[in-house]
């Protein structure tokens, strides 16, 4: 039986002259990626912003200005944005940033308020925030240079739990918080069940720990207001496997590439040092054995993965040598015994 999308001969239908890749049939799907995705990966803008730039006529492909994002391009195409060619895309990178209160999580603010991006180090490449934190919210904000990574980590389907410490005015109990655990319907909007725990009562205020997986606009504040609690402080302390830890307000720390790839389930790239058996910068040789590979996996873990379920904390530089023992089986401190 022949496929309905192909002629009986089995040949693909010929593409008409003037047809662009966007109008090709499914059987003749063009190679490459959507132009907006390419721009996002190059760090020009998010995919949505890239589509707006295309509609504004700021993008050219092979010398022709395009007006629709429905176009696939390959590495052989010459793409210009505002007359300038795209630079080679950097590998995806991720930073942990401790957002203080009083900053807007947006590139530009129509009210002239200071933004998160106004305070970042000048040495940082162009970055985008993964999700947002309100003006009066603080804590962990993830930043990336890669639009595709931003989109992936923002999707609820990623399933990563966002955890918050929340101070509320009032005396909550489990019965009051049960609607949040069951899931709310507010103004026709469905909130998924939240993880809610009461940490302590402190005078007229209480501290809660709340976990959500969607991150709707002002979700926690609105949910708590619906049960009669007013939020006076909200701190994000975790986003998936990444933790705020002791990162100071306004400070930023990059997640190591190896840890990022492990958390996203990506295949590790071949490292030149691993191919030659040398550890870059150490001047030592490392055996290409299972033990050597295990040492590479455990050395230099960053604070970004502390507290990740299933990942015990490791000492800097690996587990190190076990303590030496004397002939009596007791631990030997390494100092010479005193002479008597």
Helix (H, G, I), strand (E, B) or coil at 158: helix
Residue 86: DSSP 8-state: P
> Two tokens at 87?
């630079």
d(CA 116, CA 139): 12
Residue reference for tokens 């040949």:
11
Enumerate the H helices of the chain as residue ranges. Answer: 35-41, 47-55, 147-154, 174-182, 219-226, 257-264, 272-276, 290-298
The Cβ of residue 319 has, within 10 Å, a number of other Cβ atoms equal to 11
Active site residue 90: no
Question: For the packed helices 219-226 and 174-182, what is the interaxial angle rounded to 10 degrees?
Answer: 130
d(CA 41, CA 89): 6
Q: Using an 8 Å Cβ cutoff, are 126 and 95 in contact?
A: no
Q: Using an 8 Å Cβ cutoff, are 195 and 211 in contact?
A: yes
Helix (H, G, I), strand (E, B) or coil at 122: coil
Phi, psi angle pair for 22, to nearest 5°: -70, -25
End-to-end CA distance of the chain: 97
Q: Using an 8 Å Cβ cutoff, are 256 and 302 in contact?
A: yes
Which member of 90, 134, 146, 174 is catalytic?
134
> Two tokens at 26?
């499914």
Q: Which residues are catalytic?
A: 134
């Amino acid at each position: 039986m022949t496929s309905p999308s192909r002629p009986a001969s089995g040949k693909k239908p010929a593409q008409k002259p003037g047809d662009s890749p966007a109008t090709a049939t499914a059987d003749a799907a063009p190679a490459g990626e959507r132009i907006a995705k390419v721009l996002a990966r190059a760090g020009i803008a998010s995919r949505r912003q890239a589509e707006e730039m295309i509609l504004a006529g700021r993008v050219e492909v092979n010398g022709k200005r395009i007006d629709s994002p429905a176009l696939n391009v390959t590495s052989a195409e010459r793409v210009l944005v505002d007359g300038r060619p795209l630079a080679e895309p950097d590998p995806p990178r991720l930073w942990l940033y401790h957002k203080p209160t009083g900053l807007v999580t947006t590139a530009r603010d129509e009210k002239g308020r200071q933004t998160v991006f106004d305070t970042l180090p000048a040495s940082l490449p162009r970055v985008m925030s993964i999700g947002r934190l309100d003006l009066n919210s603080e804590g962990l904000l993830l930043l990336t240079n890669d639009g595709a990574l931003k989109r992936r980590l923002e999707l609820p389907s990623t399933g990563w739990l966002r955890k918050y410490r929340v101070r509320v005015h009032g005396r909550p109990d489990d019965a009051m918080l049960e609607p949040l655990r069951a899931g709310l319907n507010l103004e026709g909007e469905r909130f998924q069940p939240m993880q809610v725990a009461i940490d302590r009562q402190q005078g007229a205020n209480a501290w809660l720990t709340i976990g959500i997986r969607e991150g709707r606009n002002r979700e926690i504040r609105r949910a708590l207001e619906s049960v009669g609690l007013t939020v006076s402080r909200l701190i994000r302390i975790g986003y998936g496997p990444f933790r705020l830890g002791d990162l100071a307000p306004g400070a930023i720390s990059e997640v190591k590439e190896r840890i990022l790839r492990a958390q996203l389930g990506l295949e590790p790239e071949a490292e030149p040092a691993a191919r030659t058996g040398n550890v870059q910068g150490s001047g030592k040789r490392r055996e290409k054995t299972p033990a050597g590979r295990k040492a590479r996996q455990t050395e230099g873990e960053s604070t970004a993965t502390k507290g990740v379920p299933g990942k015990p904390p490791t000492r800097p530089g690996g587990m190190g040598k076990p303590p030496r023992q004397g002939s009596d089986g007791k631990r030997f401190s390494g100092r010479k015994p005193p002479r008597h």
